[in-house]
Amino acid sequence: MAKKKVFNIGNALSSGLEETISAAHNYSGELRVDIIPIKKIEVDPENPRDFLINIDELYKGISTSDPNFSRKTQEKESLETLAHSIKEQGILNPIIVYKHAEKYRLIAGERRTLASIIAGFNDIQAKILDVKPSSLKISVLQWIENVERSDLTLWERLRNLEKIVSVYANSKGTTLDQVTITELSNLIGCTKPHAINYKAVLISDQEIKNLIHENKIKSLEKAALLSNIKSLDIRKNAIDACLNGAQLKKLKMIAELGLEKNQLGKIKSIEKRGRQLSAVNFGGTKNVNVARLIVDSVLSHNLLSHISDYFKDIDWNDYKSITDTFKQLVKKLEELHVK
C-alpha cells in the first residue's frame, strides 16, 4: 500500500509563527521604538548634562563670540568618532526619550543624538515613553544605558549609582547603607556578586573613595576587596600593593594572609574530602625499628603478657610478616576490648 500523505507546516515556519506571536504578546507597548525627527528632541532641563554644546549649535555652528567656544569645539571634535561610526553602521541602540507636549525629552542618548546630527541625519531611532518617568526610573534607565560604556570611570559609575540608591532609600524611608544586596541587584539589574561589590564600595570610607575619585583604583572588584579589609595594617599593605599595580589575585592573598594572622592559635578545621572514615588507620612505616618498638611496647604491657606467646616467631626482615603481625595484634586487642 502506498504511504499515506501527511502535510505538515514546516518546523521553521511553525516556530517562527509561535515566536512572533509570543513576542508581540510579551512586549506590546513596552518597546515603543520609532524614528523621530532630531529637531523635535530637547534635553531635560531637570537633568544634569555632560555637554555644553547643544543641538541648535550643531545645526547652526558655534558662535565665535561664545565664551565657551573652545570647549564646545572640543566637544564637537570628541563626537566625530561616534558620528563616523553612526554614518557607517547607524546607531546600535535607540536613544530613550519621553513625550513632552510636541517635543521629545531626552532620558538617555545625548551623545548619540549629537553625533547623529554631525553624521548628517535628520532623524534617529528612539525608544519612546508616554509620560515622564519618576526620577528614580530615569536614574535607573540612565544607569543601564551607561553601564556598558567603556569611557566611564569607576568614579562616574559610583556617583550615578549613589544617586540612584539614595533616591531609592529615600523613597523607602531608609538610608543608603540599609539597602540590601537583593534590592540593589533588582534596582540596577545586576548579579548579586556584582551588587555585593557595589554595596561594599558605596559604604566604604573616604580614603578608598578618594582613591577611586583620583582614578587610582579603577576596578570595582579591587575597590570592593580593599573596602572589606577590616584591619588597618593589612588594608594599608593591600592599598600600597594595589597602587603598585598588584593583580586582584595578589590582593586577595594579602587580605587572606591578614585573616590567618588574626586567627592565630585556633586550629583550622581540616577540609574533609571523600568518604568519612569509619575506622582508625594506623598508617605505615618503612622503618622496621619503629614497628618493633610499637609491638614490643604493647606486649610488655602487664595486662597483655598472656598474649605475647602468639608473637614469638616474627620475621623482622620481612615487611609482609610484620604487617601480618600488626593485623593479628589489632585483632587480639579488639577481642579483649569487645564492648
Partner 1 sequence: MAKIIVNATHKGGEGKTTNSIMLAEYVALILGLKTLVIDMDPQANFSGRYIPMEYDPANKGGKIPSLHPDYDANEDHTWDGRSSIGNIFYGQEVIPYPTLIPNLELLPAHSSKLQDAEAVTKSEVLEKVHLQLKRFLELPDVQNEYQIIIIDTPPSKGPLTIAAIKAASHIVIPSQMEQFSIEGIYGMLQLWKQESYSRSKNNPISLVGILPNQVRDIKLHKQFLSGLSKMNSVGDYVMPHLIKKRAIYTEILVEDANPKSIFELPKGNVARQEYESACSFIMEKVLNG
| List of residues contacting partner 1 (CB under 8 A) | 5-9, 13-14, 16-18, 20-25, 27-35, 122-123, 128, 130
Residue type at 191? T
Q: Which helix (H) or strand (E) holds 123?
A: strand 123-129
Residue 100 contacts residue 83 (beta carbons within 8 Å)? no
Query: Toward partner 1, which CB reaches closer, 16 or 193?
Result: 16
Query: Toward partner 1, which CB reaches closer, 24 or 270?
Result: 24
Q: How far is the CB of 268 from partner 1 (least distance, A)?
A: 55
- Nearest Cα neighbor of 239 from 260, 209, 266, 283 is 209
Residue 82 contacts residue 115 (beta carbons within 8 Å)? yes
Rounded CA separation 244/21 (Å)? 56
Query: Toward partner 1, which CB reaches closer, 31 or 257?
Result: 31
Place of cell 577590616: 230
Query: Toward partner 1, which CB reaches closer, 25 or 320?
Result: 25
Report residue 337 as a C-alpha cell.
576490648
Q: How far is the CB of 104 from partner 1 (least distance, A)?
A: 14
Report residue 234 as a C-alpha cell.
593589612
Q: How far is the CB of 35 from partner 1 (least distance, A)?
A: 6
Query: Toward partner 1, which CB reaches closer, 130 or 309?
Result: 130
Query: Toward partner 1, which CB reaches closer, 13 or 259?
Result: 13
DSSP string, 19-53: HHHHHHHHHTTT--EEEEEGGGEE--TTS--S-S-
Q: CA torsion, points 180, 181, 185, 191, in degrees to nearest 10?
A: -170
Q: How far is the CB of 91 from partner 1 (least distance, A)?
A: 16
Q: How far is the CB of 136 from partner 1 (least distance, A)?
A: 21
- Nearest Cα neighbor of 227 from 214, 215, 212, 213 is 212
Q: How far is the CB of 230 from partner 1 (least distance, A)?
A: 51
Query: Toward partner 1, which CB reaches closer, 113 or 204?
Result: 113
Cα diameter, the chain:
116
- Nearest Cα neighbor of 91 from 126, 42, 57, 56 is 126
Mode of pairing for the β-strands spanning 95-100 and 103-108: antiparallel
Query: Toward partner 1, which CB reaches closer, 30 or 335?
Result: 30
Residues 6+ apart with CB under 8 A from 290: none
Q: How far is the CB of 15 from partner 1 (least distance, A)?
A: 9
Residue 200 contacts residue 161 (beta carbons within 8 Å)? no
Q: How far is the CB of 86 from partner 1 (least distance, A)?
A: 16
- Nearest Cα neighbor of 243 from 223, 224, 229, 228 is 223
Rounded CA separation 109/116 (Å)? 10
Query: Toward partner 1, which CB reaches closer, 130 or 313?
Result: 130
Q: How far is the CB of 128 from partner 1 (least distance, A)?
A: 8
Angle at 16 between CA 13 and CA 18, to 5 degrees: 110
